[in-house]
Structure 1
Amino acid sequence: MSVRTAVVGLGWAGRELWLPRLAEHPGFDVVGAVDPAPAAPDAAPGVPVHPAPDALTAREVDLAVVAVPNHLHAEVAAGLLRRGISVFLEKPVCLTSGEAAVLAAAERDGGATLLAGSAAPHRADVGALARLLPELGHVRHVDLSWVRARGIPQAGGWFTQRSKAGGGVLFDLGWHLLDTLAALLGPAGFTQVLGVTSNDFLGTGAWSAAWRRDEATALPAGDVEDTAWGFLVREDGVSVGLRAGWASHQARDVTRIRVTGSAATAELRCTFGFSPNRHPHAELTLTREGITTTLPVPQEPIGTEYRRQLDVLAGVLTDPGRRGRAAAEARTTVGVIEDFYASARRPHEQTAVPAPH
C-alpha cells in the first residue's frame, strides 16, 4: 500500500528534489503540498496545494516531507507530529539542542514518527567504502571534506542569514558529512570539538551556486561562515578531521572520505550533491603496507541516492523501533555543531571544547 505523502515547502528542495522523486516512486502517493506563495500551485501540477500545514490531517496524510527553510524545520515538523502525522526531515533536522528536545516531545505526544537523515549515506560509492571497513582493522581516524569551487547557495537569501539558516556551510554540507560518519562507524557522541570558521567568499555573488538557479535577493551579504575546519574526537576514541567549504580556490567540487585503520587505509573521492562541476567519477582506493589498489566502485546518475533513501523510508515508517531515534541522533549532530561554533568564537585560544552533548 502506498504511503500517502504531502510535501511541505515548494522551494528548490521541495520542487526539484522531492516532488518528482515521490511522484515516480511506487511506494508513495503524493496527495497534497503546502506553500503560501501565490505561484505555488504551478510547482505542483495536479496536486492540491494548501497555504498552511494545518490543512493536513492524519486521516488523509501518512507522511509529510518537510522542505521549508531551516529556521522553520522544528516548528513545522513539531506541529505536524503533535497532530499525529509522521514527518521526514532532511538536514538540518533542527538548529539547536532545544529544538531537538521539542521534536522529541512532539513525537511522543502525537504518537507519530519522526524520520530524518541525509541522502549521502545512501550513495552506492559510500556503500562500497562501508564494505571495506572490516579490512581496515581498528579504525583510528577519519578525514571528511566536502569543498566546492563555487557554490554558495542562494547568495543574499536566507541560506546566508544565521537567524534563518542557523549557520552556514557547517549546517549545510557539514551535516551531510556527520551523517555519513555515523552511517559508516555507527552513531556516537563527541568528547572534544575544535573548530575554526571563515567567510572570505561570502561577500560577492561571483562565488554563488549558479547551478541551483536561485535568484539573489536584495538582502545583506550574510553573517554565516562559508568555510569550516574542525578536529573532533568521538566517544569511541576515533578522531575526525572535518572540512566543509561553499567556495574555494580549487577547480572542482570534491568530496573526500579517508578512513585510517590499524591494518589499512581506504579513501573515497567523489562529489556529493547536484553541482555539475564535479570530480569526474568516484574513485575508491585501499592502501596497505605501501601498496595502493584502486577498487571498482559503482557509478550512478546524480541524485540516485535520494531514490534509495525513499526506498528505506517506505520500509521503516511503520517500525515502532524508529520512534525517538531521529530526534536523539539530531541532538547529537546539532550538539557537535553548537560546540564547533563555540570553539570557533575563541580562535586565538585554539582550545578544544569539551562536548557535553
Structure 2
Amino acid sequence: MSVRVAVVGLGWAGRELWLPLLSEHADFEVVAVVDTRPEAREAFGGVAGLPVYSTVEALSPRSVDLAVVAVPNFLHAEVAATLLGRGVSVFLEKPVCLTSAEADALAAAERGGGAMLLAGSAAPYRADVGALADELPGLGRIRHVDLAWVRARGVPQAGGWFTQRSKAGGGVLLDLGWHLLDTLASLLGPARFAQVVGVTANDFVNAGSWSAAWRHDRPAAAAAGDVEDTARGFLVRDDGISVSLHASWASHEARDVTRIQVVGGEGTAELRCTFGFSPNRRRSELTLTREGTTTSVPVPDEPIGNEYRRQLDRLAAVLADPRNRGRAIGEARTTVGVIEDFYASALSARTRDAVPAYR
C-alpha cells in the first residue's frame, strides 16, 4: 500500500524537487499540497486534480500518512510541530530546527501526537559517499576528518529570506554545514562535540552576481543579507576525532567542490565531488593513500539528485518502524547544538565581520 503524502510548501524545493520525485515513486501517492500564499496556490493550479489547501490544519491522520514539509527555515519547527501535534508524521527538510529550544518543541509535539518526525538530509545517500564509507574499515583508527563544501557562486535567493538571519536562523552553516555534519554522522556514527571553534565571513552575500543561478531566484534588492556566506571551524568529537569544517556559498574557486578526507592510523581516504544541484560541478573522485602511494578507487556514476531518490527508497520502511520515533530529534539536537556553539565562538572572537548567532 502506498504512503499517502501531502507536500507542504510550493517554493523551489517543494515544486521542483519533492513533488516530481514523490509523484514518480512507487512507494508514495501525493494526495494534497499546502501553501499559505494565494499566488503559489493559483500558479500550481490543482495539477493532476490534487486538492490545494491554504493551511496544514486541513491535514489529518485520516487523510495523509506523511507530510513532506519544505517551507522556509523559520517556519520549519512551527509547521512540523503543528502537524505532529495533530498526529500527522512529518518528513522535514534540513535544517530540522534553528535552535535547541525548537528541538525541544518538536520533541514534545512528537510525543504528544504519537506521530513520527523524519529528517530530510540526502547527502549521506550519495553513491560516492557510500563508496567512501566502504573504505573506512581499512583505515584503522580514525583520527581526523576534513569536511568542505565550497561553491564558486551559489548564494541562495540573494536578498530574500535565505539571507536574513531573523528568518533563516543563520547562513551557510545552517545550509551547507548541516549537510556536512549529517554526512559526518553517517560515516562515523553520531557523537557529541566536546570542543567547537569557528569563524564566519560575509564577503559575497550582498552581491547579486554571486547568486545561485540554477535556482532561478529573483533577487530581492531591497533586503540586505545579514548572515554569513562562509564558515570555517575546528571541532573535536567526544570520541576524540578532530574535524575541520569549511562551508562557503561563494568563493574565488572555478568550480563547486565538496571534499571529505578521512585520516586513519593506517591510511587516508579522500572524496572530491560536488553535493547538490549546481551545474558548475566536478566529477566524483575517490582516492586511498597509504605510505606515500595514492591509488584511485572506482566510484559509481549517477545522475544529479539521485541521492534524493535513494533516500525515498528507504523512507517508507523507516516510517513504518516505530523504533525510529525520536531518532531524528536526537540527531537534530546534536547538529543544532554544535551550530549554536560554532556561532557563539565566532561572535566571541570579536572579528570585524563576525556574524552573530540566531536569537
- TM-score in terms of structure 1 length: 0.96
1:115 aligns with 2:125: no
The equivalent residue for 2:302 is 300
- In 2: Cα distance, 1:284 partner to 1:27 partner: 32
Corresponding residue for residue 256 of structure 2 = 253
Identify which of 223, 227, 232 aligns with 2:230: 227
Asked if 1:58 is matched to 2:61, the reply is yes
Given candidates 315, 318, 322, the residue that maps to 2:317 is 315
Structure 1 residue 161 corresponds to structure 2 residue 164: yes
Partners of 1:71 and 1:165 within 8 A in 2: yes
Deviations 1:65-107 (A, max 9, x none): 0000000000000000011100001210000000001001100
2:33 counterpart of 1:33: yes
Which residue type is aligned with residue 129 of structure 1?
A: L
Offset, 1:203: 1.9
**Aligned-partner SS, 1:302:** coil
Distance 1:209 1:56 in 2: 33
Equivalent-residue separation in structure 1 for 2:25 and 2:204 (angstroms): 39
Task: Indicate yes or no: 2:342 matched with 1:327.
Answer: no
Query: Quick check: 1:40–1:49 contact (8 Å CA) kept in 2?
Result: no
Q: How many residues align?
A: 348
Aligned to 2:340: 338
8 Å Cα contact 1:204-1:221 kept in structure 2: no
2:47 is aligned to 45
CA contact (8 A) 1:252 1:278 kept: yes
Query: Whole-Å Cα distance in 1 between the matches of residues 188 and 131 of structure 2?
Result: 14
Q: 1:117, CA displacement in angstroms?
A: 3.5
Give distance in 1, aligned partners of 2:316 and 2:222. 39
Name the counterpart of 2:215: 212
Deviation at 1:348, TM superposition (A): 5.1
Contact between 1:257 and 1:268, CA under 8 Å: does it hold in 2?
Answer: yes
CA shift digits 1:279-316 (9 cap, x unpaired): 1x100000001000001000100000000011111111
Q: Which amino acid aligns with 1:117?
A: G
Conserved 8 A contact 1:253-1:271: yes
1:269 to 268, 272, 281: 272
RMSD: 1.0
> 1:39 aligns to what SS in structure 2?
helix
1:53-92 to 2 correspondences below 5 Å? 53-92=56-95
Aligned partner of residue 345 in structure 1, secondary structure: helix
- Aligned-residue sequence identity (percent) comes to 74
Does the alignment pair 1:202 with 2:205?
A: yes
Q: Distance in 2 between matches of 1:250 and 1:45?
A: 41
**CA distance, structure 2, for counterparts of residue 245 and residue 17 of structure 1:** 23
1:255 Cα deviation after fit: 0.2
**Are the counterparts in 2 of residues 122 and 309 from structure 1 also a CA contact under 8 Å?**
yes
Scaled by the length of structure 2, the TM-score of the pair is: 0.96
State the distance in 2 between where 1:3 and 1:139 align.
Answer: 39
Could you tell me how far 1:347 is from its partner in structure 2?
1.9
Alignment of 1:116-195 (within 5 A): 116-195=119-198
Moved more, 150-159 or 35-44: 35-44
- Alpha-carbon distance in 1 for matches of 2:87, 2:8: 16
The letter of the residue matching 2:316 is A
For 1:18, the equivalent position in structure 2 comes to 18
* Counterpart contact for 1:117–1:179, Cα < 8 Å: no
Distance 1:117 1:6 in 2: 15
SS of 1:73's equivalent in the other structure is helix
SS at match of 2:253: coil
